[in-house]
A and B are shown apart, each in its own frame.
Chain A
Amino acid sequence: MRVPTYLELVCPAGTPAALRAAVDAGADTVYCGFRDCTNARNYPGLNFDAKELREGVAYAHARGRRVLVAVNTFPRAGDLGPWHRAVDTAADCGADAVILADIGLLDYTTRKHPTLRRHLSVQAAASNPLSIDFYRENFGISRVVLPRVLAVDEVASMIKRMKVEAEVFAFGSLGTMVEGRCYLSSYITGRSPSSDGVCAPAEFVAYKEDGDDMVSCLGKVTMNRYGKGENAAYPTPCKCRLITNDKASYLFEEPVGLNAVSILPQLKAAGVTALKIEGRQRSRAYVAQVVGAFRTVLDALARGEDMPDAADELYAIAEGGRETLSAYKKGWR
């Protein structure tokens, strides 16, 4: 395997084509999921079957890269089969690790596939050294994907006290709520990220014209209203406009994307092992562009150079052209 020189770049692959694009653009590691409710991006037209995964792993391994398989939803009562099969298939296809969130599934995987590397998904919301240690002691996790709740200095302090690797989100569209513990989507649509692997599924989304305005809806709920010329964003519940105290606002978060490129040196200094790019639902072209830009930036930083121009490209791609450091930044809370 090629050894990451600065920070391991972990990239999304919603399709086999995106997997190859990510590898070609310089991903150290690619993560993907199966085509069902066992992963948290269970959207139509996405994801892998066993054959595709096997081919994807072969493609990545031939180039010295790794493939992680996310089985990071919470298995349903009385229906554990699909989740067990997903873990078994990932192991069988030669995946380098599985990304898990559910305590029961972690327990199953630890016993059934003791040699398969286990990463703790952000969906498990392990937000302090004690809880991370709980997962390490009981399930032998090698890495935790940290919940997006910590400022950079808190990430550093936590990593000092962890005995596993830390992966953090660096770029993409992300919710404001602690992941794995948010029911807003199911409250409005009945479909949940936890069990169904979907947030605000497209079949519940509608855009309606009202005079000069555009109104976005999720299920029966009005999520936002846009004036002429305003760009309509996808109606994700944690990025809707709501009225509190008689004032309409983006109560939870503006429709912005995470972009941590400006703080990569701080994340490196904090002891972070890997950077995660969100976006398995994104196009192959998007993945290639973002991964390529991050590769250029990471390679420059590894050579001790200043932040290269490729960073500007990432500012331009960030969600709707608007970006945030979110919880990494003091004062966000």
Chain B
Amino acid sequence: MRIPCPFCGSRDLSEFVTLGEATGPRPDPAASDAAEKFYAYAYLRANPAGPSEEYWYHALGCRSWLKVLRDTRTHVVESATLAREGTR
């Protein structure tokens, strides 16, 4: 598996670590339903068999956080963008 880092180009899997699904922003701890929101945020996963958006960190490269669209059935990486450029 190779990941097309927008900064470094196509790089080998061994340079990256993954955090898992690119979920939404951290919930507001002051909200009245914060416990429920944090439970969903910390523990629950969609875990789709198919295209999945994930956060990957280019640890042995440019050290950027990437948002990678990858198919979990085939490991085909469809796109990778800098996570900070995302809309989240």
Partners in one complex: no
- Residues of B with Cβ closer than 8 Å to A? none
- Residues of A with Cβ closer than 8 Å to B? none
